[in-house]
């Protein structure tokens, strides 16, 4: 007797992730990143492929061992690596999560924090790093600080890493060193392992190698005409958030080798007259690479940046005098605090000096200052940064935006106008 | 000349990437052997040296020269009528010779040559080997402790002057020498233990010799727990700093390149915070600085710190140099200690 | 590698230290071409080995005097040493004409008045029978003898005012006390508010 096909079960299998809105957003960005530009470096294929697999196809990145999420560059990753755990930067750039996170936060607030919260409420969050055993949340800006309680409410275990609001005073420095030491204690309880000079030294070796590789890449960006486009560099540094550190370092070293070959062959990735841009402000995080992409699609080149999703994250290196734990941990603490140009500190003299140094060294034509709508600290620093740069002869374009794609046309007009004015300036200026 | 350029560049790269720790170790060892035992090779560089090559290390004519503070104190211990007339010439010439010695190397005499500095670095190496961590001063302690060396220098001048005109007993002759740990410790290296004894002739001699041994004991403990403990209080350092503006060897900082990362401050033996935080001054050598150049070696920003000799840059901080040293230091996957 | 090399250098330094002890010049007696003395009786202090130009006798030192007659040592001559304070000792010279004395410690002022450079004088008197009937032919004597004197000075011995033991004790005490204080301070630091401290190997 023929049987009827079985009743469809009440629960229909969900469509695969790659067809979700979130994945499409990522795919859209990635397509622009790859296809809108000719002659992408071959070594970048690793990164394009990585993002495709992780963000568009939802591939699992789960690793063995303890997983510690971090929400800021202030969290010392070396300590996490030393104790056998893996750090994952949770700062998110997805508009999808931004909209979800908006339910938890006030109307006009930082899209980055909203997106992070959106990510954290999703039990199958993409990138699929797995279940977080701990989230280290440095108390930097107000919104990040208050989101700590929200994260706990979502069911996560959060450790508040206390960051001082000033980095100039001695007691601030000592306070931060103690915060870091408290973190080691917390991590010890979490992982059951103790910090030793040997394991910390091995961890520092891994991050130093990554930092050294980034420095070489940073140096390559200095070339005029440019060897590599900013959109690629942002993708590379964004990969650092979640990729395996040794694999990432090897990929960057391959990229550096290719760029060196490019330099020797006289290859240029952008036009000679393309305006060189220094990008600063709120961090562009994949898939929200809207503004850097826009700049480069309009003919500019982002040759340098001062953001915590790129330069600020990987630039500073640690020096240790004596390889004993107290000195090593305190050196790490100092390196995470002292040179940091994050706007959450009391004065921004260091940030202005860094911007000037970058602008001069990289022979930049103009500066683009991105501010996320709702970010109080970046907005407040805008004027002083603009004044400093303009006095030194670098025009600055300040753009307030968020993760939504709605303002794209408006931004295009402004960016194109800015780049035109830079080109005109270059023409009229004696070379 | 064009062919020279890659050679010069290669030389520059080699110098900027040098393993400073090893270089300093050998220079210090050689200088120590030279100044403590050089007399046996009939070397005598005179008595105006800007380092603690102790004058008491003359038993068997061991030393290669004498620390300038000793003759200075003896020369100043004259009656004021002699001192401020004819003898002043003697003193000024002595000072001039001292200045000439000093400006050749600036404070690098302290960081690379001084035997007492070398002993402290060896004691530090011992502490590191044993695995005991070092002590630091807080900034406020640093602030008032650094004034002590000026006080000692003032005493080195005022007490002999007082002796000269009879206000102070002759037994306090060369007071800094009497309390200096160099007097007690350096002759030990040529087998002379006599300076460890307490002289009971009079209350003054008892106090001074006891103070000398006391300070030598403090020196040993202090330099065990704090890097270059004694250099902080050194009157020679104070005297040298008065002439440092004339020196040929200079430490310069380019504030624009500095990220205030504090790497230089972390490695500084003397705990000088200004090296990291001061981005306005170009002549960054502080009065405590021993020009050991560890800061230049630890700076990851190219061109931020430079060592110049008579205007020519001989050693500067470079990113590649930092990474090379860092790779020797800790980028090895297997740590040796 | 560095510690080994360092240890080797330190070991190499030891012979240098040993050399320091013996670096001074050896005593060389007067050469053969010096003129023989013509004095009927004289006392010569025999120099100690390794004696330098600024040699100063000290209390407790053994001092040797040679009594000579026309440059020839005289055996069995009576020699007497008298110090400033009045202490005296008499002895006879041996076959080589030598008389040995040990200088006594007789300087006992109060501590304030003690002067380590204090010089007490002493005089050495030697007497020997002389041939002939005396120096004055007009008044001949039955017994004639020659007498010679030599004066010198001595200072207090360093053992009276200098103590190596005290010095070493103070130095070691300070080092021990200082080391213990630092250690206790570091331990105490951990207690008040439970600061995270790293104890390697424990």
Domain ranges of chain B: 21-240, 248-325
Closest partner CB to C175 (pick from B129, B199, B221): B221
pLDDT number for residue B64: 80
pLDDT number for residue C20: 55
Q: Do B256 and A357 touch (CB under 8 A)?
A: yes
Neighbours of chain A (3+ CB pairs under 8 A): B, C
Cα distance from C16 to chain A (closest Cα, Å)?
33
The answer on pLDDT for C192 being more than 60 is: no
Compute the count of residue pairs across chains A and C with CB atoms less than 8 Å apart: 17
Domain ranges of chain A: 203-317+341-428
pLDDT tens digits, one per residue of B140-168: 888 888 899 999 999 999 999 888 888 88
For A203-317+341-428, CATH number out of 3.40.50.11900, 2.40.50.100, 3.40.1710.10, 3.40.47.10 equals 3.40.50.11900
* For C201, nearest residue in chain A (alpha carbons): A196
The answer on pLDDT for C195 being more than 80 is: no
pLDDT number for residue C27: 46
From chain B, which residues contact C within 8 Å (Cβ)?
22, 25, 29, 33, 37, 40, 59-62, 122, 129, 131, 133, 135, 184, 189-194, 196-203, 209-210, 213-214, 216-218, 220-222, 224-225
More reliable by pLDDT, B333 or A67: A67
Is there a contact between B164 and B73 (Cβ–Cβ < 8 Å)? no
Q: Do B300 and A319 touch (CB under 8 A)?
A: yes
- Whether residues C91 and C169 share a domain: the answer is no
- Whether residues C112 and C67 share a domain: the answer is yes
Confidence of residue B332 (pLDDT cuts 50, 70, 90): very low
Cα distance from A109 to chain C (closest Cα, Å)?
37
Question: What value does the mean pLDDT take over residues A97-115?
Answer: 90
Please give the Cα distance from B234 to B50 (Å, whole number): 12
pLDDT tens digits, one per residue of A140-166: 999 999 999 999 999 999 999 999 999
Question: What value does the mean pLDDT take over residues A183-194?
Answer: 94
The answer on pLDDT for C21 being more than 60 is: no
Please give the Cα distance from B186 to A41 (Å, whole number): 64
* For A315, nearest residue in chain B (alpha carbons): B300
The number of residues in chain A equals: 431
C194 in contact with chain A, both atoms CB, cutoff 8 A: no
Cα distance from C193 to chain A (closest Cα, Å)?
12
- Dihedral (C-alpha) A20, A23, A28, A30: value to the nearest 10 degrees? -160
> Residue C201 falls within a domain, yes or no?
no
pLDDT number for residue B115: 93
pLDDT number for residue A224: 85
Question: What value does the mean pLDDT take over residues B118-136?
Answer: 92
Give the number of other CB atoms < 10 A from CB of residue A402: 24
- Going by the DSSP 8-state scheme, the letter that residue B112 receives in this structure is I
Is there a contact between B251 and B315 (Cβ–Cβ < 8 Å)? no
> Residue C4 falls within a domain, yes or no?
no
The answer on pLDDT for A327 being more than 80 is: yes
Domain extent at residue C180: 163-193
Question: What value does the mean pLDDT take over residues A120-134?
Answer: 89
> Residue C150 falls within a domain, yes or no?
yes
More reliable by pLDDT, C37 or A199: A199
pLDDT tens digits, one per residue of C81-117: 999 889 999 999 999 999 999 999 888 888 888 888 8
pLDDT number for residue C25: 47
Mean pLDDT of the residues in chain A: 91
- Whether residues C77 and C172 share a domain: the answer is no
The total number of structural domains in chain C stands at: 2
Cα distance from B105 to chain A (closest Cα, Å)?
25
Is there a contact between B240 and B109 (Cβ–Cβ < 8 Å)? yes
> Residue C142 falls within a domain, yes or no?
yes
Is there a contact between A68 and A80 (Cβ–Cβ < 8 Å)? yes
- Strand order across the beta sheet in which A158-161 lies: A86-89, A67-70, A134-138, A158-161
Question: What value does the mean pLDDT take over residues A170-191?
Answer: 94
pLDDT number for residue A29: 92
Closest partner CB to B261 (pick from A209, A316, A357): A316
pLDDT number for residue B333: 38
A320 in contact with chain C, both atoms CB, cutoff 8 A: no
The answer on pLDDT for A431 being more than 70 is: no
Judging contacts by C-beta atoms under 8 Å, the chain C residues touching residue A326 are: 197-198
Who's near B283: CB < 8 A, 6+ residues apart?
A: B250, B251, B252
| Domain containing residue C91: CATH number | 2.60.40.10
Judging contacts by C-beta atoms under 8 Å, the chain A residues touching residue B300 are: 215, 316-317, 319
> Residue C123 falls within a domain, yes or no?
yes
Topology, domain B248-325 = Alpha-Beta Plaits (3.30.70)
The answer on pLDDT for C2 being more than 70 is: no
pLDDT number for residue A126: 84
Cα distance from C194 to chain A (closest Cα, Å)?
10
> Residue C117 falls within a domain, yes or no?
yes
pLDDT tens digits, one per residue of A359-388: 999 999 999 999 999 999 999 999 999 999
Confidence of residue C193 (pLDDT cuts 50, 70, 90): low
A178 in contact with chain C, both atoms CB, cutoff 8 A: yes
Q: Which of the given ranges, A162-176, B66-80, C16-30, C38-52, has the highest pLDDT on average?
A: A162-176
Neighbours of chain B (3+ CB pairs under 8 A): A, C
Q: Do C200 and A196 touch (CB under 8 A)?
A: yes
The answer on pLDDT for B97 being more than 90 is: yes
- Whether residues C48 and C139 share a domain: the answer is yes
- Strand order across the beta sheet in which A366-372 lies: A301-306, A276-281, A366-372, A396-401
* For A185, nearest residue in chain C (alpha carbons): C196
What per-residue string of b and e applies to C100-122 under the rule 16 or more CB within 10 Å gives b? Answer: ebebbeebeeeeeebebeeebeb
- Whether residues C152 and C171 share a domain: the answer is no
In the numeric block, the tokens 């600085």 are attached to B289
Closest partner CB to C9 (pick from B29, B198, B218): B29
* For B296, nearest residue in chain A (alpha carbons): A319
The answer on pLDDT for B176 being more than 70 is: yes
Q: Tell me: ipTM over 0.90.
A: no
Strands A396-401 and A366-372, how do they pair?
A: parallel
pLDDT number for residue A216: 94
Confidence of residue C191 (pLDDT cuts 50, 70, 90): low
Cα distance from A238 to chain B (closest Cα, Å)?
23
More reliable by pLDDT, A53 or C7: A53
* For C200, nearest residue in chain B (alpha carbons): B131
C198 in contact with chain A, both atoms CB, cutoff 8 A: yes
More reliable by pLDDT, A258 or C25: A258
- Strand order across the beta sheet in which C88-92 lies: C57-58, C145-155, C120-129, C78-83, C88-92
Residue C36, both tokens: 């023989």
- From first CA to last CA, the distance across chain B in angstroms is 46
pLDDT tens digits, one per residue of C108-166: 888 888 888 889 999 999 998 887 777 788 888 888 888 999 999 999 988 888 888 88
Question: What value does the mean pLDDT take over residues B13-39?
Answer: 90
Which residue of B22, B63, B123, B201 is the best one to mutate when testing the C interface, meaning the one whose CB has the most C CBs within 10 A?
B201
Question: What value does the mean pLDDT take over residues C34-44?
Answer: 82
Strands C98-102 and B312-316, how do they pair?
A: unpaired
pLDDT number for residue B289: 92
Residue B13, both tokens: 């790269």
Mean pLDDT of the residues in chain B: 87
- Whether residues C118 and C141 share a domain: the answer is yes
Cα distance from C8 to chain A (closest Cα, Å)?
24
- Whether residues C118 and C178 share a domain: the answer is no
Q: Do C200 and A195 touch (CB under 8 A)?
A: no
- Whether residues C56 and C151 share a domain: the answer is yes
The answer on pLDDT for B19 being more than 60 is: yes
Question: What value does the mean pLDDT take over residues B183-206?
Answer: 87
B139 in contact with chain A, both atoms CB, cutoff 8 A: yes
The answer on pLDDT for A328 being more than 60 is: yes
The answer on pLDDT for C32 being more than 60 is: no
Question: What value does the mean pLDDT take over residues A278-294?
Answer: 93
From chain C, which residues contact B within 8 Å (Cβ)?
2-3, 6, 9, 13, 16-21, 23-24, 111-112, 114-116, 158, 161-164, 166-168, 170-175, 178-179, 182, 198, 200-201
pLDDT tens digits, one per residue of A75-96: 999 999 999 999 999 999 999 9
pLDDT number for residue A426: 84
pLDDT number for residue C15: 66
Question: What value does the mean pLDDT take over residues A292-320?
Answer: 93
Model-level pTM? 0.84
Percentage of chain B modeled with pLDDT above 70:
94
C20 in contact with chain A, both atoms CB, cutoff 8 A: no
Closest partner CB to C196 (pick from A184, A196, A197): A184
pLDDT number for residue A7: 66
- Whether residues C51 and C137 share a domain: the answer is yes
Confidence of residue B41 (pLDDT cuts 50, 70, 90): confident
Q: Do B200 and C111 touch (CB under 8 A)?
A: yes
Percentage of chain A modeled with pLDDT above 90:
77
Helix (H), strand (E), coil (C) string for chain C: CHHHHHHHHHHHHHHHHHHHHCCCCCCCCCCCCCCCCCCCCEEEECCCCCCCCCCCEECCCEEEEEEEECCEECCCCEEEEEECCCCEEEEECCCCCEEEEECCCCCCCCCCCCCCCCCEEEEEEEEEECCCCCCCCCCCCCCCEEEEEEEEEEECCHHHCEEHHHHHHHHHHHHHHHHHHHHHHHHHHHCCCCCCCCCCCC
pLDDT number for residue A213: 94
A299 in contact with chain C, both atoms CB, cutoff 8 A: no
Closest partner CB to B193 (pick from C164, C182, C198): C164
């Amino acid at each position: 007797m023929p049987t009827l096909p079985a009743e469809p079960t009440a629960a229909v299998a969900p469509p695969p992730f790659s067809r979700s809105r979130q994945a499409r957003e990522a795919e859209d960005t990635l397509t622009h990143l790859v296809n809108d530009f000719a002659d992408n470096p071959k070594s970048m294929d690793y990164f394009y492929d990585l993002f495709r697999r992780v963000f568009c196809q939802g591939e699992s990145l789960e690793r063995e061992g303890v997983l510690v999420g971090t929400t800021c560059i202030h969290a010392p990753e070396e300590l996490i690596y030393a104790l056998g755990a893996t750090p994952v930067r949770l700062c998110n750039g997805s508009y999808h999560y931004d909209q979800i996170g908006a339910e938890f936060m006030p109307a006009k607030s930082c899209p980055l924090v909203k997106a992070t919260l959106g990510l954290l409420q999703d039990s199958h969050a993409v990138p699929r790093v797995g279940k977080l055993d701990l989230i280290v949340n440095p108390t930097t800006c107000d919104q990040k600080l208050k989101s700590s309680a929200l994260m706990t409410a979502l069911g996560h275990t959060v450790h508040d890493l206390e960051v001082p609001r000033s980095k100039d005073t001695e007691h601030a420095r000592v306070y931060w060193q103690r915060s870091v030491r408290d973190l080691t204690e917390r991590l010890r309880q979490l992982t059951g392992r103790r910090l030793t000079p040997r394991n910390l030294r091995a961890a520092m070796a891994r991050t130093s190698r990554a930092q050294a590789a980034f420095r070489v890449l940073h140096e390559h960006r200095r070339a005029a005409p440019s060897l590599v486009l900013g959109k690629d560099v942002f993708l590379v540094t964004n990969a650092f958030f979640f990729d395996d550190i040794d694999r990432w370092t090897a990929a960057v070293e391959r990229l550096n080798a290719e760029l060196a070959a490019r330099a020797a062959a006289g290859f240029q990735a952008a036009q000679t007259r393309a305006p060189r841009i220094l990008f600063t402000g709120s961090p562009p995080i994949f898939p929200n690479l809207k503004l850097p992409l826009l700049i480069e699609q309009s003919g500019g080149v982002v040759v340098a940046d001062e953001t915590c999703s790129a330069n600020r994250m990987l630039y500073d290196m640690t020096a240790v005098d004596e390889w004993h734990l107290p000195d090593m941990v305190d050196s790490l603490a100092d390196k995470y605090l002292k040179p940091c140009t994050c706007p959450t500190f009391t004065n921004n003299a260091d940030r202005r000096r860094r911007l000037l140094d970058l602008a001069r060294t990289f022979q930049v034509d103009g500066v683009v200052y991105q501010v996320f709508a709702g970010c109080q600290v970046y907005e407040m620093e805008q004027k002083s940064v603009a004044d400093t740069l303009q006095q030194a002869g670098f025009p600055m374009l300040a753009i307030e935006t968020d993760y939504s794609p709605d303002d794209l046309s408006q931004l295009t007009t402004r960016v194109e106008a800015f780049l035109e004015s830079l080109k005109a300036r270059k023409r009229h200026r004696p070379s | 000349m064009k062919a020279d350029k890659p050679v010069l560049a290669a030389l520059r790269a080699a110098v900027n990437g040098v393993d400073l720790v090893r270089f300093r170790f050998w220079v210090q060892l050689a200088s120590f052997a030279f100044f403590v035992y050089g007399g046996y090779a009939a070397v005598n560089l005179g008595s105006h040296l800007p380092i603690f090559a102790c004058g008491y290390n003359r038993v068997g004519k061991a030393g290669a020269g004498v620390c300038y503070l000793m003759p200075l104190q003896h020369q100043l211990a004259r009656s004021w009528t002699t001192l401020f007339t004819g003898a002043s010439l003697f003193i000024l010439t002595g000072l001039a010779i001292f200045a000439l010695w000093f400006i050749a190397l600036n404070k690098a005499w302290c960081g690379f040559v001084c035997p007492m500095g070398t002993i402290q670095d060896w004691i530090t190496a011992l502490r590191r080997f044993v695995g005991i961590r070092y002590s630091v001063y807080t900034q406020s302690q640093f602030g008032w402790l650094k004034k002590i060396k000026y006080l000692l220098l003032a005493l080195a001048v005022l007490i002999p002057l007082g002796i000269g005109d009879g206000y102070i007993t002759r037994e306090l002759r060369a007071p800094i020498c009497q309390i200096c740990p160099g007097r007690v410790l350096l002759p030990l290296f040529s087998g002379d233990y006599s300076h460890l004894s307490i002289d009971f002739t009079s209350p003054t001699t008892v106090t001074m010799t006891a103070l000398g041994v006391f300070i030598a004991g403090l020196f040993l403990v202090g330099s065990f727990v704090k890097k270059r403990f004694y250099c902080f209080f050194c009157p020679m350092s104070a005297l040298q700093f008065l002439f440092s503006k004339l020196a040929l060897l200079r430490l310069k900082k380019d504030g624009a390149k500095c990220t205030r990362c504090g790497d230089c401050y972390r490695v500084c033996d003397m705990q000088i915070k200004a090296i990291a935080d001061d981005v306005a001054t170009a002549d960054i050598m502080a009065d405590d600085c021993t020009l050991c150049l560890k800061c230049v070696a630890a700076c990851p920003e190219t061109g931020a710190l430079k060592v110049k000799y008579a205007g020519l840059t001989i050693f500067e901080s470079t990113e590649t140099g930092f990474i090379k040293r860092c790779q020797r230091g800790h980028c090895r996957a297997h740590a040796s200690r | 590698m560095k510690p080994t090399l360092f240890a080797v250098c330190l070991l190499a330094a030891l012979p240098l230290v040993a050399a320091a002890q013996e670096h001074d010049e050896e005593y060389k007696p007067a050469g053969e071409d010096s003129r023989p003395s013509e004095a009927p009786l004289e006392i010569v202090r025999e120099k100690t080995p390794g004696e330098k130009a600024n040699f100063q006798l000290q209390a407790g030192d053994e001092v040797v005097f040679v009594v000579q007659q026309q440059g020839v040592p005289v055996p069995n001559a009576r020699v007497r040493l008298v110090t400033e304070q009045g202490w005296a000792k008499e002895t006879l010279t041996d076959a080589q004409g030598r008389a040995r004395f040990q200088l006594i410690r007789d300087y006992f002022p109060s501590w304030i008045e003690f002067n380590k450079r204090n010089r007490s004088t002493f005089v050495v008197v030697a007497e020997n029978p002389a041939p002939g009937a005396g120096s004055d032919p007009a008044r001949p004597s039955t017994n004639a003898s020659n007498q010679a004197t030599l004066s010198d000075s001595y200072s207090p011995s360093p053992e009276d005012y200098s103590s190596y033991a005290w010095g070493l004790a103070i130095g070691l005490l300070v080092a021990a006390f200082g080391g213990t204080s630092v250690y206790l301070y570091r331990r105490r630091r951990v207690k008040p508010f439970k600061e995270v401290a790293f104890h390697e190997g424990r």
